[in-house]
Amino acid sequence: MPKISADYQEVSHLYHKRTNLSRAENNNRNFPRTYLTKPPAPPSYPISGTNPYFTNTKSDPYSATDTRVVARPLYKIRQASSQGNGLYSTQSIPKGKLILKESPFLVLPLYNNGENPPKELYHKAYHRLSPEYKTLFWSLYQRKDDDSEKSQSMNVINTNSIPFSRRHEYDEMEEKVNSLGLFRTLSRINHCCRPNAGWYWYQEDNQMRLYAYTDITPNEQITVSYLSHDDLLLPSIKRRKALLDGFGFECTCSACNLAWSAPLPQSEWNIRKYQFYRSKWTNQHILDYAANFSQSLAQLGTSLDILSSERLFDQMGEVYEKIYEVYAVHGIFHKAKAAARDLLQHYKVVMGFREANKTWVASQANDPTKYPLWAKLAKASSRQGRRKR
Ligand SMILES: [Zn+2]
């Protein structure tokens, strides 16, 4: 993996390596008929926004500081009409807004290759919980289909845990997902194939943060994707199977409902088109891909349009990055800079202001000539330009 995309890899795949984790990450929650206790109330502490760019358009997005405090929680947990319990907005939430941050109350290590730990560790982790947390533990949903764990405590953990990557001092660059966490509120968020939010692990704070990927209207359900980047692009029938096998529920999200109509809805054709374009840039070195300047930019532009209309926001980072690289290898300073800023803004939405500013793109957004292959094709493109004239 070239260094240039290391951070992007982290963003796009870190929390999407969930495909391999299958049941371990099943955190679908239907209505909790098995509540042993009253469900815990959502936390009432004020939430401080860390992503002021999208809440205060007047300020300079690149110098804004983390000061905004929201007086009441942006969400509440309530029963969803068909899907059972879910997280709902209590007010309008602008794209990029930090919805909540939360530390796990139970953490289990994952072994190499994302393997689940031995049974004893599950039981140990449970028995270490205080009575208050045990109550919370049993208020989480348990999977009830044939594939569910026989041990109730393992069922709760496998059904509700969220995989994340805890980085240690010695392997700071380690991207592998290596932990499973149970969270008071985050573990109750439902899946949608067109999610309006996503989470990002903040190692320094030991907290998972949930960011709005789109503008969210009051009383709208807040959803994330349980599927990987790639699996989210599968046709609905395959997505539904992956969700049923991995998480034990039928997806009834709008994208899946729509897909039942025949003939194949336009949206699935659009996604196929995007996947075709994507195969072009993923299977070629950037110097080869960008050699046909106008064609590559046309494909990338169409891809952005498709992802935007299909509400596949999380995938857009990869396209912004590619647009940046195409301009950068041609040495077109202002276009490259603008593209890098689009990418940086995307990162601010998916990981918040602070982490986004630590990525490689933060410095290249000011000076795209730092791109390792800067202007490598510049001569070729100016020759082409002359020929055209
Ligand atoms: Zn769906």
Q: What is the pLDDT of residues 61-99, one digit of tens each?
A: 322 333 344 457 899 998 875 556 899 999 999 999 999
Please identify every residue whose CB atom is under 5 Å from ligand 1, which is an ion: 193, 251, 253, 256
> Hey, what long-range contacts does 174-179 have (CB within 8 A, 24 or more apart)?
175/9, 175/10, 175/13, 175/14, 176/17, 177/14, 177/15, 177/17, 177/18, 177/21, 177/110, 177/114, 178/109, 178/110, 179/107, 179/108, 179/109, 179/110
Q: Please state, in angstroms and rounded to a whole number, the distance separating the CA atoms of residues 344 and 359.
A: 8
CA of 119 to the centre of ligand 1 (A): 31
Q: How far is the CA of 242 from the centre of ligand 1 (A)?
A: 10
CA of 84 to the centre of ligand 1 (A): 15
Please state, as a whole number, how many other Cβ atoms lie within 10 Å of the Cβ of residue 32: 17
Ligand 1 center from residue 230 Cα (angstroms): 14
Query: How far does the centroid of ligand 1 lie from the alpha carbon of residue 214, in Å?
Result: 17
Ligand 1 center–CA 348 separation, angstroms: 26
Between CA 209 and CA 328 the distance in angstroms is 32
Distance 118 CA to ligand 1 centre (A): 32
Which helix (H) or strand (E) is 326 found in, with range?
A: helix 316-329
| Residue environment code for 45-83, b if the CB has 16+ CB neighbours within 10 A, otherwise e | eebebbbbbbbeeeeebeebeeebebeebbbbbeebeeb
Span from the CA of 246 to the centroid of ligand 1 (angstroms):
13
What is the Cα Rg of the chain in Å?
22
Measured in angstroms, how far is the CA atom of residue 250 from the centroid of ligand 1?
Answer: 8
Cα(364)–Cα(348) distance, rounded to whole angstroms?
A: 15
Distance 324 CA to ligand 1 centre (A): 31
Dihedral of the CA atoms 83, 161, 129, 33 (nearest 10)?
20
CA of 235 to the centre of ligand 1 (A): 10
Give distance in angstroms: CA of 195 to centre of ligand 1.
9
Residue 40 alpha carbon to ligand 1 centre in Å: 28
The CATH topology of domain 14-258 is Beta-clip-like (2.170.270)
227 C-alpha to ligand 1 centroid (Å): 10
pTM greater than 0.85: no
- The alpha carbon of 226 and the centre of ligand 1 are apart by a number of angstroms equal to 10
pLDDT score recorded for residue 254: 83
Q: What share of the chain is helix, strand, coil (3-state, %, to 5)?
A: 45, 15, 40
Question: What's the 200 CA to ligand 1 centre distance in angstroms?
Answer: 21
Q: How far is the CA of 287 from the centre of ligand 1 (A)?
A: 37
Question: Which positions of the chain have pLDDT values less than 70?
Answer: 1-71, 81-84, 113-114, 167-176, 258-264, 379-389
User: Residue 193 C-alpha to ligand 1 middle, in angstroms?
Assistant: 4
d(CA 356, CA 346) in angstroms, rounded, equals: 9
Q: In which residue ranges of the chain is CATH 2.170.270.10 found? A: 14-258
Which residues in the chain belong to E strands, given as ranges? 47-48, 69-70, 75-80, 84-89, 98-102, 106-109, 162-164, 179-182, 190-191, 197-202, 207-212, 221-224
| Å from CA of 239 to ligand 1 middle | 7
Among candidate residues 362, 366, 372, the one with its CA nearest the CA of residue 287? 372
82 C-alpha to ligand 1 centroid (Å): 13
* Ligand 1 centroid to residue 17 C-alpha, Å: 18
- Shortest CA distance to 247 belongs to which of 5, 41, 19? 19
Q: Please give the pLDDT value at position 167.
A: 65
Please check whether residue 247 is in contact with residue 191, taking contact to mean a CB–CB distance below 8 angstroms: yes
Angstrom distance (rounded) from CA 346 to CA 358: 14
Q: How close is the Cα of 177 to the center of ligand 1, in Å?
A: 24
Q: In angstroms, rounded to a whole number, what is the distance separating the alpha carbons of residues 40 and 25?
A: 21
